Amino acid sequence: MVISGITVGNKTANTSQRDSNTVIDSGTTFTFLPTSFYNDVEALVEAAVGVEATPNPPKDFNLCFAYDSIAPGNSNDFDFVVHFENADLSLNPQNIFVRVDDFLCFAVFPTNGVPFYGNVAQIDFQVEYDLEERKVSFAPADCTQH
């Protein structure tokens, strides 16, 4: 499946790698985007959050904020929409941030390899693979109820 862009708030980052399929993988925790595309998305997220990122994020993370500054329920919510080739998918904060100690960290990383759409981004979505039609579908779901 091809990701053509990501909208954060009211700004969109578009990828130049539209011919590159993204692997949708429930066995990979985080999402990995081509490096230049990731850099554009990270800048949009940092601007949308509206608070200063921590200068020393926990190991392996690139972008983190003090938990109290963007904890759920604070006023700095913003839209985050992944634009797939034939569909737009709106994500919640739980799909793009993970809590690491006293931080909320962006659960997306740069890669120079194959892009992956990981399981954090798939939380509370049912994912359907139609192999005959070669289509992937996402349906919002409350996975705590199943």
pLDDT in tens, 12-33: 998 876 657 888 888 999 999 9
List the structure tokens of 10.
């009211």
Helix (H) / strand (E) containing 40: helix 35-49
Q: Is the confidence at residue 70, as pLDDT, over 90?
A: no
Q: What is the mean pLDDT of residues 46-56?
A: 91
pLDDT tens-digit readout, 105-135: 999 999 999 999 999 999 988 888 778 877 7
Please calculate the CA angle 44-5-50 and round it to the nearest 5 degrees. Answer: 15
Q: Is 84:100 a contact under the CB 8 Å cutoff?
A: no
Domain coordinates in residue numbering, the chain: 3-145
CATH architecture of the domain with range 3-145: Beta Barrel (2.40)
The closest of 98, 97, 102, 93 to 56, measured between CA atoms, is 102
pLDDT tens-digit readout, 73-104: 555 678 999 998 878 899 998 999 999 999 99
pTM recorded for the entire structure: 0.88
Rg (CA), the chain: 15
CA-to-CA distance for 77 and 48, rounded, in angstroms? 8
Q: Is 114:107 a contact under the CB 8 Å cutoff?
A: no
List the structure tokens of 3.
């990701």
